[in-house]
Amino acid sequence: MTILVDSDVVISSLLSTTGASYLLLQKKIINSFYISSFSRQELEQVCERLDIKKDKLDSLIQKNLQIVKIDKQIKDIKNKYGKYVYDINDAHILAGAVFSKAGFIVSYNIKDYKIEKIRNDLNIIVFKPSMLIQYLRSLR
């Protein structure tokens, strides 16, 4: 099971040790969480703006996240994956999911994804962290 993690979930896991994002990422429920190289770049800037220590982000990535490299220009990504999102700037998350061959995207930003189209065209399910944990519990 491969899961692409949106940046809001990564940042949430760094801000609270009792939130659903922390439970999902830091407790290492499963081993195949991915972010894209674009997300890495984005996360570093977000951490800086929110005064989150870079060490915390680096440690999380090193321990629990794998990075999938996307060798494309952001404008090409927006052209190809923009049809799956309501905000064109979120297109790189879809690209990350496709490049990492993810079956799931975990995000709090569900309203900005065309979840039916993503499921039908790409066979990727978009979940919030809590729903993904609930789903994983149902598999036990």
Partner 1 sequence: MFSQLNSDKVYTPEEVAQMLKLSKNTVYDLINRGELIAKKIGKVYRIPVSSLSFMFTGLDYDLYQAEKEDIQNLGKVQKTIKNVRKNLG
Among 89, 101, 120, 121, binds partner 1 (CB under 8 A): 89
Q: Using CB under 8 A, which of 28, 87, 101, 121 touches partner 1?
A: 87
Is 29 a residue that touches partner 1 (CB under 8 A)?
no
Whether 124 and 104 have beta carbons less than 8 Å apart is answered as: yes
- Give the nearer residue to partner 1 in terms of CB position, either 20 or 68: 20
Give the tokens for residue 18.
């009792």
Q: By CB under 8 A, is residue 79 in contact with partner 1?
A: no
User: What is the three-state SS of 72-130?
Assistant: CCHHHHHHHHHHHECCHHHHHHHHHHHHCCCCEEECCCHHHECHHHHHHHHCCEEECHH
Residue 107-126 contact track with partner 1, rule CB under 8 A, x = bound? -xx-----------------
- Does residue number 20 form part of the binding site for partner 1 (CB under 8 A)? yes
Contact call for residue 21 and partner 1 (CB under 8 A): yes
Report the Cα 56 to chain-centroid distance in Å: 17
Q: What b/e sequence results for 22-47 when a residue is b if at least 16 CB atoms lie within 10 Å of its CB, and e otherwise?
A: bbbbbeeeeeebbbbebbbebbeebb
Asked whether position 18 contacts partner 1 by CB under 8 A, the answer is: yes
Candidate residues 11, 60, 68, 124; the one interacting with partner 1 per rule CB under 8 A? 11
Stretch that binds partner 1, among 54-62, 96-104, 119-127, 132-140 (CB under 8 A): 132-140
